[in-house]
């Protein structure tokens, strides 16, 4: 049985299980796995940027030199930013996400006090993230919160 390192309750679950069981409520939101980064916003940016460059070009060829350059320049900037954000999203999804997901699969959650913890090599729980206190890291005797019985 896996004990919560904070309140010592045995009402604990693997993060993955907790998420599958409670994915429609608050606990589900709490235990949700890391998600791939969306590229939808950047794709919209590409579209808007390309459109502005086109409009700038039309204004420019119509004789409006300064506004044409300004509009086209703004479009170029948007294109550049959107391209950069897509590249970053790709890098995150390809390299960082698998690591985060693997970490997430190692996590447990205490259904009594809501603390998130991982199991170390000795089989003891160790709080992670916001719950990670400075005391009681190793032995799991650290008590905190009203959830302790
Ligand atoms: Zn607990």
Domain ranges of the chain: 40-101
For residue 20, report the distance from its CA to the centre of ligand 1, in Å. Answer: 19
Neighbours of ion ligand 1 (CB under 5 A): 4, 6-7, 9, 110, 112-113, 115
Q: With 60 as the cut, is the pLDDT of residue 144 above it?
A: no
Q: Report the side by side order of strands in the sheet with 125-127.
A: 12-14, 107-110, 116-119, 125-127
List, for residues 28-72, the tens digit of each pLDDT value. Answer: 777 889 999 999 999 999 999 999 999 999 999 999 999 999 999
- Compute the distance from residue 5 Cα to the ligand 1 centre, in Å: 7
Would you state the structure tokens that stand for residue 96, as one six-digit string?
């960082």
Cα-to-centroid distance, 13 and ligand 1 (Å): 11
**Which of residues 146 and 66 earns the better pLDDT score?**
66
What's the CA-to-centroid distance between 143 and ligand 1, angstroms? Answer: 9
Nearest to 86 by CA among 139, 28, 124, 45: 45
Residue 73 scores a pLDDT above 80: yes
Reported as type and span, the H/E element at residue 109 is strand 107-110
The mean-pLDDT minimum among 20-24, 34-38, 106-110, 144-148 falls in 144-148
Two tokens, residue 5: 């390192």
What pLDDT is stored for residue 30 in this prediction? Answer: 73
| Per-chain mean pLDDT for the chain | 85
Average pLDDT over residues 106-133: 82
120 pLDDT tier (thresholds 50, 70, 90): confident
From ligand 1's centre to the CA of 65, what distance in Å? 67
% of the chain at pLDDT higher than 70: 85
């Amino acid at each position: 049985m896996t004990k919560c390192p904070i309140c010592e309750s045995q009402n604990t679950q693997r993060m993955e299980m907790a998420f599958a069981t409670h994915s429609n409520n608050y606990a589900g939101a709490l235990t949700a796995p890391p998600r791939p980064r969306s590229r939808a916003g950047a794709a919209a940016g590409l579209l808007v940027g390309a459109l502005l460059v086109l409009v700038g070009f039309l204004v420019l060829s119509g004789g409006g030199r300064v506004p044409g350059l300004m509009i086209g320049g703004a479009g170029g900037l948007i294109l550049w930013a959107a391209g950069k954000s897509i590249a970053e999203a790709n890098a995150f999804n390809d390299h960082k996400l698998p690591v985060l997901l693997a970490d997430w699969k190692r996590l447990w959650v205490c259904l009594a006090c809501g603390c998130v913890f991982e199991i170390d090599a000795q089989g003891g729980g160790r709080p992670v993230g916001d719950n990670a206190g400075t005391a009681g890291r190793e032995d799991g005797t650290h008590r905190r919160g009203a959830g302790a019985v």
